[in-house]
Amino acid sequence: MAEKIFMKGCEAVSESAIRAGCRFFAGYPITPQNEVPEYFARRMPSVKGVFIQGESEVASANMVYGAAASGVRCMTSSSSCGISLKSEAISFMAGARLPVVLANFQRGGPGIGTIQPAQQDYNQATKASGNGGFRMLVLSPSDLQEAVDMTYRAFDLADKYQNPVMLLLDGFTGAMMEPVILPEAKTDEELDAIRATKTYATTGKKGGKQHKVICGPGLDTRVSQEEMNRRDAKMYEGWETDEIDYEEFLIDDAELILTAYGITGRIAKSAVKLLRAEGYKVGLIRPRTIYPFSKVAFDNLDYGKIRGILSAEMAIPEQFSTDVKTAVCGRTKVETALSSGGNILDRGYIIEQAKKLYGDK
């Protein structure tokens, strides 16, 4: 078995990306994800990859647009207000259907917020990371092993759908250290083979009859915008059956469900364990893919025996919890446990709120 390595979140994500074959990274300094561009800057020369410190988030994201158009696996990362600046290019890449991996190590907001961790970009990530109504698969890990595995997988998903994929993390996950087992590094031969499949890359006609154009709906004169929008909508719909991924924990006899994603998901899970130890019949639903939303997990619950659902997130006002309420659709009571301002949700507070909602044992 591969060796356990004690790594910082930002660096574990970066190393996993390189092992997945990321050979272009552009970024711009913003706390709390500076260790990501720093890691790529140190590491890229050894894999003959390219690192550029862009002049802004806007430029960095557009650089990734250019790199993706050349057919290499590529990535950019930022935090919250930096992602807002990248949203222009994200929308263009979704419009042009380019595979790219984006990471958001969320900090507080709105605006510059604080540099402390938060989960206040859920709506931005899952509903509109730019204009035009495009969608991306959004993955959110709870621990660093999951972050490593999701990062690695994100590159495959991006290529599979020729579409941006976002990793939604937070400043806490970026800064914390935890043992991880890193995936195998893709070989140069494997990466060449992957690049060779990218026939859309605009590296010259090379004797081909038709030239290739990378652009969004509307500019391509060969297909109408509506046709392209319909094609993309069909792909998004397919994700609802193919790409939903969530963890269920002690659901079968549960009378109260805790639900949370990302860093809050692991805290909620340990709250479930502690509540169980006290005799409360509590279970957990933890979406790993947060777009599309794990509605099916809530549809599968036996509402006859459920007293309520407690949704926890580091966002005020709620964002994720609104999707939970929509999924539950009034079948049971949904309460929230929220924090913001850089305050990691305290497990004790989650337990307290859960007991309140649970009532008598």
- Interface contacts to another protein, rule CB under 8 A: 4-6, 23-24, 26, 50, 52, 54-56, 58-60, 62-67, 69-72, 74, 88-89, 92, 96, 115, 143, 172, 175-179, 201-208, 211-216, 219, 221, 266-267, 269-271, 273, 344, 346-348
Do residues 67 and 74 lie in contact, with contact meaning Cβ atoms separated by under 8 Å? yes
Listed in sequence order, the residues at least 6 apart from 336 whose beta carbon sits closer than 8 Å to its beta carbon are 310, 311, 312, 313, 318, 321
Report in angstroms how near the CB of residue 303 gets to another protein at its nearest: 27
Q: 24: which 2 tokens?
A: 């272009």
Report in angstroms how near the CB of residue 76 gets to another protein at its nearest: 10
Q: In what order do the strands lie in the sheet with 282-287?
A: 246-249, 282-287, 256-259, 308-313, 334-338
- Judged by CB, which is closer to another protein: 201, or 250? 201
d(CA 57, CA 91): 14
Report in angstroms how near the CB of residue 216 gets to another protein at its nearest: 7
- Judged by CB, which is closer to another protein: 244, or 254? 254
Report in angstroms how near the CB of residue 18 gets to another protein at its nearest: 15
- Judged by CB, which is closer to another protein: 47, or 50? 50
d(CA 193, CA 44): 20
Burial class (CB in 10 A: 0-12, 13-18, 19+), 154: buried
Phi/psi of residue 197, each to 5°? -75, -10
Give the amino acid at 66.
Answer: G
The b-or-e profile of 15-24 (16+ CB within 10 A means b, else e) is bbbbbbbbbb
- Judged by CB, which is closer to another protein: 53, or 123? 53
- Judged by CB, which is closer to another protein: 5, or 41? 5
d(CA 22, CA 320): 30
Report in angstroms how near the CB of residue 110 gets to another protein at its nearest: 20
For residue 283, give the 3-state DSSP assignment.
strand
C-beta atoms surrounding 178 within 10 Å: 17
- Judged by CB, which is closer to another protein: 32, or 292? 32
Report in angstroms how near the CB of residue 101 gets to another protein at its nearest: 15
Task: Compute, in degrees rounded to 10, the torsion defined by CA atoms 121, 180, 30, 142.
Answer: 10
Report in angstroms how near the CB of residue 240 gets to another protein at its nearest: 30
- Judged by CB, which is closer to another protein: 47, or 201? 201
- Judged by CB, which is closer to another protein: 172, or 280? 172
Report in angstroms how near the CB of residue 328 gets to another protein at its nearest: 24
Report in angstroms how near the CB of residue 325 gets to another protein at its nearest: 25
Q: Report the sign of the C-alpha dihedral through residues 194, 164, 220, 87, in that order.
A: negative
Q: 49: which 2 tokens?
A: 């990859």
Listed in sequence order, the residues at least 6 apart from 155 whose beta carbon sits closer than 8 Å to its beta carbon are 17, 20, 21, 22, 73, 75, 99, 101, 165
- Judged by CB, which is closer to another protein: 88, or 243? 88
